[in-house]
């Protein structure tokens, strides 16, 4: 006999770890004996709703950049709110913070803001490129001042922080981005203590200087780990999977859609796992991240269908396998 059970939003355990919708409990109407049974995932339907930046579980939300304040090189931290970010989104948040701090100027000729550091994707090198741009001495003016530089009109914002001097040893000032906090450096594929402003010349902390503009540029030294949890693991209680660690893992899922879109997976073949013999009141399902720890799922809307069968039941595929000698 084959039975089907369904875990849904109604089965989420109140107070799931970190309130992350990652623990689900299914209660049988009555106690059920499973002397010789197996269980498998039949279908998973859930939204891609787990983040790649999280202060608590991933410790990867801050980095900092430098800006001169009264001629003193001063670090300014950027703390990303928990969420799912692409590199372009991280760059936009950096720009948002720079606007709030007056660390930018307005290009009146082209109607754009000008920033002095950026993250961009370098598809050719399969990495993230950090560019830092010089601030010419013409920009060292008071707030709300309009001036011309290289035939372009600029205005400093009302909250403009005049750097007051230039970074040495270059003749123009570059605002470096440094990656020294927690695990953010893994997101962009840089060493933990990397800084674009570093004069010791020791790899991997060196950077490339464009001789015509004095801008600095550096690519990732390792593959960026933009999504630390590309794979989810589903673990069910009372499983005896001797080949898995932990032994409760029954399935893995990879997000193949954009963030916020529906993931719908139906395995082409059931991967049955043995239930430990016993009498149960219910089963508990855990959703784990790549590190095998419970992961925060933002959207509780999910349906996970599982199939339970007696191991003595012979299916068509079992019969065919037996008839062909397991080939």
Q: Which DSSP string do the residues of 3-63 spell out, in sequence order?
A: EEEEEEGGGBPTT-GGG-S-EEEEEEEEEEEESSEEEEEEEEEEE----SB-TTTT---EE
Whether the per-residue pLDDT at 182 is higher than 70: the answer is yes
Answer whether residue 55 is part of any domain. no
Average the pLDDT over 112-136 and give the result.
91
* pLDDT score for 308: 94
- Least confident range from 47-51, 135-139, 263-267: namely 135-139
Q: Could you tell me which of 24, 189, 177, 32 has the C-alpha nearest to residue 122?
A: 189
CATH number, domain with residue 253: 2.60.120
Which residues span the domain enclosing 256?
2-50+229-323
Q: How far apart are the first and last CA of the chain?
A: 25
Same domain, 199 and 271: no
Answer whether residue 224 is part of any domain. no
Kindly report the backbone phi and psi dihedral angles of residue 107, in degrees, each rounded to the nearest multiple of 5, phi listed first. Answer: -90, 105
Same domain, 78 and 145: yes
Question: Where is the domain boundary, 200, 219, 238?
Answer: 219
Q: pLDDT (tens digit, 9 = 90+) per residue, 213-240? A: 667 788 898 999 999 999 999 999 988 7
Same domain, 164 and 89: yes
Q: pLDDT (tens digit, 9 = 90+) per residue, 276-301? A: 999 999 999 999 999 898 899 999 99
Structural domains in the chain (count)? 2
Same domain, 42 and 68: no
Angle at 191 between CA 59 and CA 179, to 5 degrees: 55
Same domain, 83 and 10: no
Taking the mean position of all CA atoms in its chain, how far away is CA 139?
Answer: 36
Whether the per-residue pLDDT at 102 is higher than 50: the answer is yes
pTM attached to this predicted model: 0.80
Same domain, 148 and 108: yes
Same domain, 215 and 69: yes
Taking the mean position of all CA atoms in its chain, how far away is CA 199?
Answer: 31
Same domain, 278 and 194: no
29 preceded by a cis bond (ω within 30 of 0):
no
Whether the per-residue pLDDT at 45 is higher than 90: the answer is yes
Answer whether residue 27 is part of any domain. yes
Question: Where is the domain boundary, 196, 219, 242?
Answer: 219
Question: Where is the domain boundary, 189, 219, 249?
Answer: 219
Mean pLDDT of the chain: 85
* pLDDT score for 175: 64
Same domain, 85 and 203: yes
């Amino acid at each position: 006999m084959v039975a089907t059970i369904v875990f849904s939003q109604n089965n989420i355990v109140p107070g799931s770890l970190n309130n992350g919708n990652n623990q689900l409990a299914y209660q049988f109407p009555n106690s059920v004996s499973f002397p010789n049974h197996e269980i498998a995932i039949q279908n998973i339907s859930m939204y891609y709703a787990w983040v790649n930046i999280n202060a608590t579980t991933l410790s990867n939300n801050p980095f900092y950049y430098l800006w001169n304040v009264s001629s003193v090189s001063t670090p300014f931290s950027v703390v990303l709110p928990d969420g799912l970010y692409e590199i372009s989104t991280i760059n936009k948040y950096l720009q948002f913070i720079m606007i709030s701090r007056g660390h930018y100027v307005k290009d009146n000729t082209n109607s754009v803001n000008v920033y002095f550091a950026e993250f961009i994707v370098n598809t050719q090198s399969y990495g993230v490129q950090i560019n830092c741009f010089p601030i010419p001495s013409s920009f060292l003016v008071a707030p709300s001042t309009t001036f011309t530089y290289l035939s372009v009109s600029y205005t400093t914002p009302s909250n403009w922080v005049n750097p007051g001097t230039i970074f040495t040893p270059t003749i123009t000032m570059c605002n470096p981005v440094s990656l020294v906090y927690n695990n953010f450096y893994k997101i962009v594929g840089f060493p933990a203590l990397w800084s674009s402003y570093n004069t010791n010349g020791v790899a991997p902390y060196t950077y490339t200087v464009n001789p015509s503009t004095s801008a600095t540029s550096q690519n990732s030294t390792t593959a960026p780990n933009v999504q630390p949890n590309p794979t989810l693991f589903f673990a069910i209680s009372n499983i005896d999977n001797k080949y898995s660690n932990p032994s409760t893992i029954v399935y893995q899922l990879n997000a193949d859609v954009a963030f916020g879109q529906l993931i719908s997976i139906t395995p082409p073949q059931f991967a049955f796992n043995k239930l430990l013999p016993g009498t149960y009141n219910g089963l508990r399902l855990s959703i784990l991240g790549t590190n095998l720890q419970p992961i925060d799922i933002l959207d509780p809307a999910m349906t996970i269908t599982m199939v339970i069968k007696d191991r003595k039941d012979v299916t068509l595929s079992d019969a065919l396998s037996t008839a062909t000698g397991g080939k």
